[in-house]
A and B are shown apart, each in its own frame.
Chain A
Amino acid sequence: MAISVVMPALELTQETGKLLAWRKKEGEEVTKGEPLLEVETDKAAVEIEAPADGILAGVKAGEGDVIPVGQTIAWIVKPGEEPPKEAAPAGSSRGTTTEAARPAENMATASPAAGAGAAAARISPKARRLAKEHGVDIARLQGSGPGGEILASDVLAAAEGKAPAAAPAAAPKAAAGTLEPLTSIGRLMAERMTQSWTSVPHFFVTREVDAGPLNAAREKRLAVAEQSGGARPTHTDLLVALVARTLRKHPRLNATWTAEGVRLNPDVNIGIAIAVNDGVIAAVIPNADKATIAEIARQRRELADRAKSGHSRPADITGATFTISNLGMYGVDAFTAIITPPQAAILAVSSIVDRVVPVDGAPGIRPIMSMTLSCDHRVFDGARAALFLSDLAEAIARPEETLG
């Protein structure tokens, strides 16, 4: 039986994926698990593996096409078998490449890509009529309906020239200045940060710590890494390990707000904010509370390499339960970060600076690091946040006890 290859949904908010490249040609033999195509999701470029053994057939999407999540783009058939004529509904693709594929009715509605998205865009009858009457190209519209449908107001706004066309290519004449088209990472960053900032009640708790013991712990492991040829551990790597272990004692900070209640996440997966060309992505160290510094350093280096070359894998960027954003290398004194839903907190880490502070009752110079925790007040309160920071400060003061 033919098995469909569909545009995968790798993120809850993802509506479309851009097909970057086929790794196999039509008619070529494929083996389950080998790279079949490369997709640019809202977050990163990822390689998608073949869902089955067979022959690649019925390829419907070309390189550069933007395709609604869940849509069949090709088939894997047995030798001599013809691919089905009609695209099967997304539901039939379960167990293939897209475990996360959503039902067709929830699919992307207003694809920004001219042509590709037009047929899939849902549009109200009135909007369709108005678009015809006003000569508005609906493929260029972004719907504002409850499910992303194109509504009459969207068409009228476009007809009056108010609506910015969603497709970057369709905006040739900016009135003043140069319009920098959004990349998928840029657009997603804007959407998710707006969603978080406008729907998550943030509050912030700051604490300064003496980073001396942290520096010492890092020096010790740096020496080991140099001898063994392993990845050089960074301050971030140590913080990942210390934060993850501290989170075990504070499950409420490793949690998710839902309408039904606060869900405590069983695993501690730490996201590390990594700057890439056109935005920021959060690479994930799974089960960081159990990983050694050497393991974290090696994983972090691999994740960063793939992210910077645009070859992140789906698992690289999903499943974080808590994020650390470290801007220390830029000489930042302190900053606040926006929480990445569905996480409940993010820790913003500044640079380590020598400061004059009281040491045993006398002025002394110590390397001070400031940390600011952004908290979702629906999930936990200021006292819990303070207790967590207190325990984290303790762990940073005695890293070897925590790291064991």
Chain B
Amino acid sequence: MSTHEVVTREITFAEAIREALAEEMRRDSRVCILGEDVAEAGTPFKVLSGLVEEFGTGRVIDTPISEAGFTGLGVGAAMTGIRPVVDIMFGDFITLTMDQMVNQAAKIHYMSGGRWKVPMVMRTTLGAARRSAAQHSQSLHAWFSHVPGLKVVLPSTPYDAKGLLKEAIRHENPVVFFEDKMMYKMKGPVPAEDYTIPLGVADVKRAGEDITFVATSSMVQVALGAADLLAEIGISAEVVDPRTTWPLDEQTIVESVKKTSRAVVLDEGYERYGVTAELAALIAERAFYDLDGPVRRMGAMHVPIPFSPPLEDATIPTPQKLFELAREMCGRS
């Protein structure tokens, strides 16, 4: 992947998102943004600052606080040829958009025999640790990953965020784009030139020999942190970032586990019936005879995310917890 090219320019994750939006809006006049507070009211997490000034309130549109309403607006607009980017400030609020996304956006292309398309993107957030309590801290991307007709993107670096968002905006059917709230200030190399990253192509964020960490979004940094700790005791961990839960690059994940024989799957969503369960099942099905031990999982604890900072932190996987698990799995405990 081109993440490994020499890129000297570094920008934040938020700037990468903003650049992707601005570049696609310049490139294609059908691209517009709608959501709560996206224009004059100030922009969520300051990601969109400057866009309304450049593109005006006709293309960066503040909506009422009605996620179901303006998501439906986005679906209908997309069906008529507009390419809306719908902004759902907190991923927790996707619950309000479910009928529009699951029964409408995901189904139109199929039920119209391919005559209608829904080229919309829903941008929203995931991740805990912002002390935002149970209704503003969830990672619910598994919900959309469950539904045929929706594609789900989970960028973990500024580079991936920009390339994947541009690809999502150019995509002909609905894509849900989850950004980790804690990652907006993270800096990383991003080329100034136009580039896109295809959906369904995983990225090996770190190569290793002894154990594979399959990690998404916020958990990629956790996996890389644990890999650093493990390197100090002579265990070489490989970090595979699927980048999209659907379409899913099964091949890269399976090949990595076949090489290392051990796997931990990490995702900040809930473990039960979630992304980690799906990925663990994939590994069990396709790499069973190369496994040297059970596939293990780490995700959010199965509780409403607490407001109390020490309790909230305890619900999320950390590099230290992953290090301990991996050390045990590699027989070095």
Contacts and interface: CB of A to CB of B under 8 A. Distances in A.
B188 to A, nearest CB: 36
Interface in B277-294: 288-293
Q: Is the interface of B mostly helix, strand, loop or mixed?
A: loop
Of A124, A128, A149, which is in contact with the most chain B CB atoms at under 10 Å from its CB? A124
A146 B292 contact: no
A129 interface: yes
B261 interface: yes
6 contacts: A125-B288, A125-B292, A126-B291, A146-B329, A146-B333, A149-B293
B331 A152 contact: no
A153 B210 CA distance: 12
Contacts of A146: 293, 328-329, 331, 333
A126 B290 CA distance: 4
A13 interface: no
B261 A152 contact: yes
Interface string A138-167: 000000111001011100000000000000
Which 7 pairs of residues, A with B, have the shortest CB-CB distance? Answer: A129-B289, A124-B292, A126-B292, A152-B292, A125-B288, A125-B291, A126-B290
Interface size, A (range): 10 to 19
Contact of A144 (B261, B290, B291, B331): B331
Interface size, B (range): 10 to 19
A127 interface: yes
A144 B329 CA distance: 11
Contacts of A145: 293, 331
Nearest to B328: A146
Interface of A: 124-129, 144-146, 149, 151-153
Contacts of B331: 144-146, 151
Interface in B256-310: 261, 288-293
A151 B328 contact: no
Nearest to B293: A124
Interface in B113-161: none
Interface string B301-333: 000000000000000000000000000110101
A130 B230 CA distance: 27
Given A124-B291, A152-B292, 6 more contacts: A125-B290, A125-B291, A126-B261, A146-B293, A146-B329, A151-B331
Contacts of B289: 125-126, 128-129
A149 B328 CA distance: 13
Contacts of B328: 146
Contacts of A152: 261, 292
B281 to A, nearest CB: 15
Contacts of A153: 292
